[in-house]
A and B are shown apart, each in its own frame.
Chain A
Amino acid sequence: MIDSVLLVIIIASVIIGALSGSLGVIMVLRKRSLLGDAISHATLPGVAIAYLFFGKDPLFLIAGATCAGVVGVALVVLITNTTRLRVDVVMGMMLAVFFGVGMVLLTYIQKLPTTGQAGLQAFIFGQAAAVVWQDVYVISALGLPIMCVVGIAWPIIHAFCFDHAWLHARGLSSFVVDLGVMFCVSVVIAMGLPIVGALLMSALLIAPAIAARPWSTRMSQMMIIAGGIGAVCGVVGALISSAYARIPTGPTIVFLSVVIALLSHVIAMRFRSARIRSAL
């Protein structure tokens, strides 16, 4: 019998796993895997500022985190376009500096006389046990429209990954599409923060997509497989951490997805060499 607390955690993990798994496909195909890491670290000052102004309402915390994430991405793109620095340097710098600013704000908040700021630390490491029904409502209320947007804008997203010439021919600016896609990704990362934490959220974005890559020939196929893997990791991770009291939920989900990604590539290699051998 599953109790209500565990049910909340499982539902939240499944939704986050499926959402980040499917959106992560875009990041991996665009060779942007590490940008997710930059976004998730960059959300921290947004969370702190949102807390300072609006308190612990999850909707505002997510909004703050999303805004900071988008600002981080915009800065990375701007600095890369106007200097001769490589994008990996700029990403590393941005994520660490934003994280530093977030730390400064968090230590400032901790000195305030108000109570209830203890939960903010959860945004760094994630704390699935603190997830309540309200979080699930917010996650589903934001996740559904994001999936709808992805569905409606599918040709554009597809072209964004593979064919920028098509975008330009249709009169779309790839910078604007880029910002739109990164906005969706930032929202998903922001929603995952309370469960997985800022440090590991990016891995949940890319690991299912990397796992799905050898088994798919179409982007839609890859998205469905990656979403499925993310959701399964969510359930199994939540169940494992509930069975053993001390095992934390977020890192377990991430570790599972990384192991699946590595296994998937090893198995795919075996299949490939077996096929080659039989062909000979």
Chain B
Amino acid sequence: MILLDLFLTGLVVSVACAVPGLWLMLRGMSMLSDALTHSVLLGIVLTFLIVSDIDSPFMIVGAVASGVGTALFVERLQRQNISADAAIGLVFAGMFSLAIILITVYAGDTHLDLDAVLLGEIIFSPFDRIVLGGVDIGPRAMIMNGVALFLSVTFMVVFWKELVFTTFDATSATLVGFAPTVLTTGLVILSSFTVVTAFDAVGAILVVAFMTTAPASAYLLTYRLRRMVMLTVLLAVSASIIGIWVAMLLDVSVSGTMAAVAGLQFVIIWLFAPTRGVIARLIERRGLRTEVLLLAQLMHIVSHKRTHQQFVVDGQLVRELQARGWIDEAQQLTSIGVRTLQQAGMLTTTAE
């Protein structure tokens, strides 16, 4: 039962991060997910210092507020002649370092543990359960991330048309009257909420892994958006299940292994993807090279036959040409050869 809870929690966390992560990636805001995971900590710490209850709903309000604050601050700095990446790096470092200073200064008086917040350990999540009116409804991490997942999926389904329009053609979307910034703010709020709920289970840094890796892998596999969403979810699910299983076998950090498996999945897809993978493209390039060489050799033979000059041929290429039936035994151009050359645009008039 505990094992099942662990697997389910991992699965929900991983999918809940991947869905908003995909939209952040498509809108070119991936680095914001990195910034959010760091800066949200300041909101959590500040709220904790005020309400001093780690399970309080205000924690989420504080975290979301600091997430939105980060996005606004970054935008403000960009108007100050600081480039986007520098602004993001500056803002989250400032908020994060302040959060760590506050945590260590007040560490003695609180239950906020730096290691737990930043590195997280999902293995303990099945033991922290939500009990409502005497009924055990499940592990806290699973329920909270389930809510986050439900919100992102609802957001995506309800605003699908608007999301697609503003993501892929922001200019005309603005002209027609859609406001991309409203949806961006919605996404930032959703992402902050997801980050806060996920962080408990997997820690701040690994949230970035779940937000970027599955979407990036799906992006390499397809151009179709619907298929990309499906693949993202599928890859997030498989990374979490394999990750948890491997971690149990080796008895090492569960969230770390989940991230490592997600990375491995990406590398495999990057190298071996059917048409756009590195290896597939190498093979394609080599094939293309042979085709070009064959055509060049054919042209060479044709033009020299016409002028009756002495010429040198490559034996291997000629054999391949004959095997394809483009030339006959006497190295005369066949009708198939003529058609091939015409299709390649290398022969405009029919050869006598």
Q: Can you show 25 pairs from A to B with CB atoms below 8 A apart?
A: A31-B85, A86-B28, A88-B28, A89-B216, A92-B30, A92-B211, A96-B208, A100-B253, A100-B258, A101-B259, A103-B256, A103-B259, A104-B252, A107-B256, A108-B250, A111-B251, A124-B119, A199-B38, A202-B89, A203-B94, A203-B97, A210-B86, A210-B90, A252-B97, A262-B94
Chain A residues with CB under 8 A of B30: 86, 88-89, 92
A191 at the binding interface (Cβ < 8 Å): no
Nearest B residue to A252 via CB reads B101
Instruction: Say yes or no: B80 contacts A269, CB within 8 Å.
Output: yes
Chain A residues with CB under 8 A of B209: 93, 96-97, 99-100
Q: Which 8 A-B pairs have the closest CB atoms?
A: A100-B259, A203-B93, A103-B256, A97-B263, A96-B209, A258-B94, A96-B208, A251-B97
Q: List residues of A (81-116) whose CB comes within 8 Å of B's CBs.
A: 82-86, 88-93, 95-108, 111
> Which residues of B pack against A, CB within 8 Å?
25, 28, 30-31, 33-34, 38, 77, 80-83, 85-86, 88-90, 93-94, 96-98, 100-101, 104-105, 107-108, 114-115, 118-119, 205-209, 211-213, 215-216, 219-220, 247, 250-253, 255-260, 262-263, 266, 270, 276, 278, 281
Nearest A residue to B108 via CB reads A246
Q: A34-B31, A41-B205, A108-B252 are in contact. Are A248 and B216 (CB under 8 A)?
A: no
A206 at the binding interface (Cβ < 8 Å): yes
Chain A window 178-219, contacts with chain B (Cβ cutoff 8 Å), 1 for yes, 0 for no: 000000000000000000000110110011001001100000
CA distance A207 to B91 in the complex (A): 10
- Choose one: A32, A97, A207, A254; the contact of B260 (CB below 8 Å): A97
Instruction: Say yes or no: A255 contacts B94, CB within 8 Å.
Output: yes
- Choose one: B28, B83, B107; the contact of A31 (CB below 8 Å): B83
Instruction: Say yes or no: A33 contacts B85, CB within 8 Å.
Output: yes
Chain A residues with CB under 8 A of B211: 92
Q: A34-B31, A34-B34 are in contact. Are A203 and B266 (CB under 8 A)?
A: no
Instruction: Say yes or no: A92 contacts B100, CB within 8 Å.
Output: no
Q: A41-B205, A255-B94 are in contact. Are A93 and B216 (CB under 8 A)?
A: yes
Instruction: Say yes or no: B89 contacts A99, CB within 8 Å.
Output: no
Instruction: Say yes or no: B100 contacts A93, CB within 8 Å.
Output: no
Majority secondary structure, A binding face? helix
CA distance A37 to B33 in the complex (A): 13
Nearest B residue to A35 via CB reads B85
- Choose one: B81, B115, B208, B258; the contact of A95 (CB below 8 Å): B208
Majority secondary structure, B binding face? helix
Instruction: Say yes or no: B212 contacts A33, CB within 8 Å.
Output: no
Instruction: Say yes or no: B263 contacts A33, CB within 8 Å.
Output: no
Instruction: Say yes or no: B31 contacts A100, CB within 8 Å.
Output: no
Instruction: Say yes or no: B259 contacts A33, CB within 8 Å.
Output: no
Nearest A residue to B83 via CB reads A31
Number of interface residues of A (CB under 8 A): 62
Q: Which of B119, B209, B251 has the most CB of A within 10 A?
A: B209
CA distance A111 to B83 in the complex (A): 44
CA distance A28 to B86 in the complex (A): 7
A261 at the binding interface (Cβ < 8 Å): yes
Nearest CB in chain A: distance from B132 CB, A: 33
Nearest B residue to A89 via CB reads B30
Q: List residues of A (25-65) whose CB comes within 8 Å of B's CBs.
A: 28, 31-34, 36-37, 41
Nearest CB in chain A: distance from B327 CB, A: 38
A265 at the binding interface (Cβ < 8 Å): yes
Instruction: Say yes or no: A203 contacts B90, CB within 8 Å.
Output: yes
Nearest CB in chain A: distance from B104 CB, A: 5
Q: A34-B31, A200-B96 are in contact. Are A96 and B213 (CB under 8 A)?
A: yes
Q: Which of A86, A103, A262 has the most CB of B within 10 A?
A: A103
